[in-house]
Amino acid sequence: MSAEYQVNGNIAVITLNNPPVNGLGHSTRTAIVNGMKQALNDDAVKAIVITGAGKAFSGGADIKEFNSPKASAEPSLHTVINVVEGSTKPVVAAIHTVCMGGGLELALGCNYRVAAKGAQIALPEVKLGILPGAGGTQRLPRVLGLEMALNMIVSGTPVPSEKLARTAIFNEVVEADVLTAALAFAAKVADVRPLPRVRDIKIDYPNYEAYLQFSRNTVRAMAGPFPAPLKCVEAVAAAVTKKFDDGIKFERELFVDLVQTTESKALRHAFFGERAASKLPDVPEDTPTRPIKSVAVIGAGTMGGGIAMNFANAGIPVQILEMKQEALEKGLATIRKNYENTLKKGKLTQEKFEQRVALITGTLAYEDIAQADIVIEAVFEDMGVKEQVFKKLDEVMKPGAILASNTSTLDVDKIADFTKRPEDVIGTHFFSPANVMKLLEIVRGKKTAKDVLATVLGLSKKIKKTGVVSGVCDGFIGNRMIEQYSRQAGFLLEEGCTPEQVDKAVEKLGFAMGPFRMGDLAGNDIGWYIRKRRYVEKPQITYSKTADLLCEMGRYGQKTGAGWYDYKPGDRKAYPSAVVNDMIIKHSADLSVERRKISDQEIVERLIFALVNEAAYILEEGIATRASDIDMVYLTGYGFPLHTGGPMFYADTVGLTNVVMSMEKYAKGRHGDAWKPAPLLAKLAAEGKTFN
């Protein structure tokens, strides 16, 4: 039953019961309407209380019903709210824990609201590229005032109930049991007439035109490519300028328009993609997991230190192992400094600072980490070095400990075979800076046990990462794809582009940074090291030699003060380099390549379609479970623009037939061998289908 009906004395109680957050799915909406009818038809019932079972009043729409006919089937949420608002008996919302989206809109349709302290109140629809569609933009300004309501709706950020206690949104905010308080309140107002309705409140805001114009200008500057924030302002403006029913109609029109936008579809795709990533077809959700109460990290460098901070932030003690005292002290000092910077910015309390620093300790002896529940190595990306570490870990770690490698490209199966317990070995590829970047690529070896996989997926959530599972291949999902992107970037230089032109073209689309700025940040020597290995292992793959020539000049990027760009001391801004541009032009001449003018469209297509084509191979080989997993890797780890939904969603938006046609065009140019469509891409395009 998705809502329960009971009578307590002369008060009816309708309890939403649709776990986990009492989403307002079709059956729940129907049960609310039926409960209201039952209460209104019972002369013994003098008032009605609506509340939620478990850990929520209501989190809003039922995400399981998104994009299905049930989402809009009658009774719609509008109908439910109209029934509640039109009640001839007082209706009290008993709000606790979570009251968001449609849940808050339902509460605003009630005559009274009693809230528990600490309840999270929000209209977060803007985060899905839409706006509140069941009266939220019209009713919230009437109880909170124009400014506070507009800020909540445009940001979508939850606010604790006690911060709203002085406004008209709640009649009471209580420490005690909220249902008991709501029943007492309902008894008190049982005979009050006329019944107060939020829709009847007048918004009093002198000079509202100037404030709304200021809001439009501010939101326009901050919203970037997303249309929803500005539409939220227009909807809230209607609450001030139109009659209530006209405002509701206008809100609905804006909602329907936004649902159809690519940006909203992209945000919803990312929302569902993040949830889908933690589900694997062959690993049931009830798979038992191993307890993780302590962590060890091998290596106190930038990566090791960043990894350790994730666990300390989650309250899990970490030991860092280094070979030399000096390296260990330097690593621990860097971690402390990072926390001090956060403390200075006011993003960390003194108490939390001390807690986190205390949770990270160092050692020089493998024996000291033997009892850790999981150990993550963050040593140099070299198979020989990994072999030494894993043989030693196999020797010292307790039975059942998870042995994880933070490798970005190496064969996890080979690493697992260095041990006598390959079922306990897994890849955990963190992205730098590891304490900031959201992505954790979880690499599943052939012999990785299901409980190990389930444990690490659960752990990724605990340390606030988006965990995406990849099979074993060179570079896994992210770096295997980025190699094709980087190859095209190099070829574009030979054919007529400068690093700045390539970077600007993709940054205009919304990338955090283009391939050359990214190379300078990561260190061009890392790519050079990997390419040298590729020249031996995969001689059939061609690369532009421009990046090698750059490294031969000692221009490794920001760390050496010079890379594809020039850098000034203490300044991370990339300045175009005449020396590099001259080197590129000379290299084109040495290859007898006549340089040409290249459009931004060609740059974007070649870079992104190269990613997409490689991703199609990855999907076909079963390295990634689903297309949305690939999108999550790129949205959370590689700065792919969120409003495009990731490379696979972007390709779906462009149309896979158009992607293949563009690839056929580029196949006629230099390095045409790179443009053979993957069989899966060709098949889907021919059938008029999509990846997602």
Q: Rounded to the nearest 10 degrees, what angle do helices 627-637 and 647-654 cross at? A: 120
Judge contact between 588 and 523, C-beta under 8 A. Answer: no
Judge contact between 435 and 306, C-beta under 8 A. Answer: yes
CB-side neighbour CA atoms (13 Å) of 474: 9
Give the residue ranges of DSSP H helices in 21-76: 26-41
DSSP state of 117: T
Catalytic residue status for 605? no
Which tokens in the block code for residue 309? 């901070």
| Bridge partners for 11 per DSSP | 8, 47
- Hey, which bits of 408-551 come out as E strands? 425-430, 439-443, 466-470
CA distance 168 to 149: 12
What is the per-residue DSSP string for 610-637?
HHHHHHHHHHHTTSBSSHHHHHHHHHHH
Which tokens in the block code for residue 224? 């970037």
Judge contact between 224 and 510, C-beta under 8 A. Answer: yes
Q: What angle do CA 476, 479, 482 make, to 5 degrees?
A: 135
CA distance 304 to 331: 8
Burial class (CB within 10 angstroms; exposed 0-12, middle 13-18, buried 19+) of 137: buried
What is the per-residue DSSP string for 423-440?
GGEEEEEE-SSTTT--EE
CA distance 35 to 29: 10
Which tokens in the block code for residue 194? 């006329």
Cα Rg for the chain, rounded, in angstroms?
29
CA distance 84 to 108: 10
Q: What angle do CA 64, 67, 68 make, to 5 degrees?
A: 75
CA distance 506 to 502: 7
Catalytic residue (choose from 4, 65, 85, 125): 125
Residue 166: CB atoms within 10 A of its CB come to: 9
Which tokens in the block code for residue 678? 């993957």
Chain position carrying tokens 């995969």: 538
In this structure, the strands spanning 120-122 and 98-100 are parallel
Which tokens in the block code for residue 593? 């390549």
Which residue, 382, 419, 388, is CA-closest to 402? 419
Which tokens in the block code for residue 90? 């007082």
> Which backbone phi and psi does 566 adopt, to 5 degrees?
-95, 150
DSSP state of 539: T
Judge contact between 675 and 607, C-beta under 8 A. Answer: no
* Amino acid of residue 333: A
Catalytic residue (choose from 105, 251, 263, 483): 105
Catalytic residue status for 602? no
CA distance 335 to 305: 6
What residues contact 248, with CB distance under 8 A and at least 6 apart? 135, 138
What residues contact 174, with CB distance under 8 A and at least 6 apart? 114, 115, 116, 117, 181
Active-site amino acid positions: 105, 125
